[in-house]
Amino acid sequence: MTDIHFNKEKGSQLKLFTPGPVHVPERVLKEMAKPNDTHRSKPYSEMHQMAAEGLQKLLYTNNECLIFTSSATGIMEACVRNLIKDDEKALFFSIGAFGDRWYEIGVRNGKISVKQGVEWGKAITPEVAQEALSKDKYSVVLIQTNETSTGVYNPIDELAPIIKDSGALMCVDATSSMAGVKLEVDKSDIDICLASVQKCFALPPGLAVCSVSDAAIEKAEQVKNRGLYFDLIALKKRHVAKHQTPTTPPIPQIRGLTAQLEYILNEEGLEKRFERHEKLGKRTRTWVQENNLEMFPEKGYESNTVSTIKNSLDLDIPKMVSMLLDKGYRIVNGYGQLVNKTFRIGHMGEIQLKDLEEMLNDLTDIINELK
Ligand SMILES: Cc1ncc(COP(=O)(O)O)c(C=O)c1O
């Protein structure tokens, strides 16, 4: 087979401090390499059921959890197509590039889409939410937990009651925080909570997952032109009846998801996993201070899974990224309009504090050389 290395010298030893895709542990890769039965077989259904039940525990919900053969953007589009009728308005809160993307999906699907943004680096506060919701009647509200471009975490627990009091359905994109930050779906009454698995789950890309409330399904039943591939009714029906998907899923990936959920829930433990991510976030922020850098997000709203750092030392960021790559680590430049104005360190998935310290030591040396 062609010998493909992502890093010529270090090969697969390259350590990813990226906001996804992230490093996948060897034990998951081994699990994925096991032989499989078909997606209509009993062993498959058993595996699928285990994964779905694991997701329910992860999200503190009794809502059904569905598995999609797509990345998170697929479920973002599914929310738009399944929940918004043509004559209804939907409100998209946006604090960065991925909020803007969700709004764009609404527009491109011909839905009446309203965007409520804030200056990048800031969060949606309860005041902003109250005001936006008081302006009009919205049937669906869509919002990110963690905005991966700005590194801001929205105070979702405070926003949820405000959004739900307005009578709207609430869709939450938790792509870069699910399995790294606690999110209690039933407590916050979230109708759809979605993510792809190449971030805090530490799995290879290719799957996305979500919880779906009964209210969301009841709404979808009234919405025309839901399409076929992302039709929530069909997906839920097959899931409930057989623990399967309507079309052929990537079976090895689902095996990987099942194994990783078992690890997260039964070996590491949810609370410990959330605490670890909190420590990784805090340590990165302290390092930022120690190096006379500044965080991009407004204080108090910084993400614990990805740190977006202002280029306050006017560093050559592509050069810094490349020098760190030579040491075997990948961090990333800013996203979209924040390229070269910020850089980002992902600290999600299976990264341990010791790994982070090692990378930060090398990065400190590089920064001192570049200053
Ligand atoms: C917050 C957020 N939403 C959505 C997406 C899109 O995810 P995907 O590439 O899995 O479709 C990303 C990707 O980075 C993200 O960070």
Q: Are residues 95 and 17 in the same domain?
A: no
The answer to whether residue 261 scores a pLDDT higher than 90 is: yes
Q: Which two tokens stand for residue 243?
A: 């623990």
Q: Are residues 70 and 174 in the same domain?
A: yes
Residue 6, in any domain of the structure: no
Residue 2, in any domain of the structure: no
Q: Can you tell me which atom of ligand 1 is nearest the CA of 74? A: 11
> Which residue's C-alpha comes closest to atom 16 of ligand 1?
148
Q: Are residues 142 and 291 in the same domain?
A: no
pLDDT for res 313: 95
Q: Which domain-ending residue is among 232, 266, 300?
A: 266
Which stretches does DSSP call E strand in 178-221?
192-196, 208-212
Flag the least confident range among 5-9, 102-106, 224-228, 347-351.
Answer: 5-9
309 C-alpha to center of ligand 1: Å? 19
Q: Which domain-ending residue is among 233, 266, 299?
A: 266
CA distance 217 to 169: 11
72 C-alpha to center of ligand 1: Å? 6
Q: Are residues 172 and 289 in the same domain?
A: no
Sign of CA dihedral 301, 200, 275, 171: positive
Encode burial over 23-47: b for 16+ CB neighbours within 10 A, e otherwise.
bbbeebeebbeeeeeebeeeebbeb
The answer to whether residue 4 scores a pLDDT higher than 70 is: no
Q: Are residues 220 and 280 in the same domain?
A: no
CA distance 283 to 304: 10
- For the chain, how many structural domains are there in total? 2
Sign of CA dihedral 295, 297, 299, 305: negative
Half-sphere exposure of 11 (CA within 13 A, CB side): 2
98 C-alpha to center of ligand 1: Å? 7
Q: Are residues 230 and 260 in the same domain?
A: yes
Q: Are residues 132 and 243 in the same domain?
A: yes
Residue 35, in any domain of the structure: yes
pLDDT tens for 221-256 read 999 999 999 999 999 999 999 999 999 999 999 999
Q: Which domain-ending residue is among 246, 266, 286?
A: 266
pLDDT tens for 352-368 read 999 999 999 999 999 99
Sign of CA dihedral 342, 348, 350, 355: positive
pLDDT for res 3: 57
CA distance 77 to 90: 13
Domain that residue 344 falls in: 11-24+270-370
Q: Are residues 67 and 197 in the same domain?
A: yes
Q: Are residues 167 and 127 in the same domain?
A: yes
Q: Are residues 230 and 283 in the same domain?
A: no
Q: Which two tokens stand for residue 107?
A: 């527009």
Residue 3, in any domain of the structure: no
Residue 125, in any domain of the structure: yes
pLDDT for res 127: 98
Q: Which two tokens stand for residue 156?
A: 């979702």
Q: How confident is the model at residue 14 (pLDDT cuts 50, 70, 90)?
A: confident
The CATH code of the domain that includes 249 is: 3.40.640.10
Ligand 1 contacts (CB < 6 A) are 20, 71-73, 98, 144, 147-148, 173, 175-176, 196
Q: Are residues 73 and 135 in the same domain?
A: yes
Mutate to test the pocket of ligand 1, among 68, 98, 104, 183 (most ligand atoms within 8 A of CB): 98
User: Alpha helices, DSSP H only, in the chain?
Assistant: 26-32, 42-58, 72-83, 97-108, 126-134, 156-165, 185-188, 214-220, 232-242, 251-262, 270-290, 317-326, 353-370
pLDDT for res 86: 95
Residue 313, in any domain of the structure: yes
Q: Are residues 52 and 150 in the same domain?
A: yes
Q: What angle is formed at CA 141 by the lines to CA 128 and CA 168, rounded to 5 degrees?
A: 105
Angle between helices 72-83 and 232-242 (to 10 degrees): 110
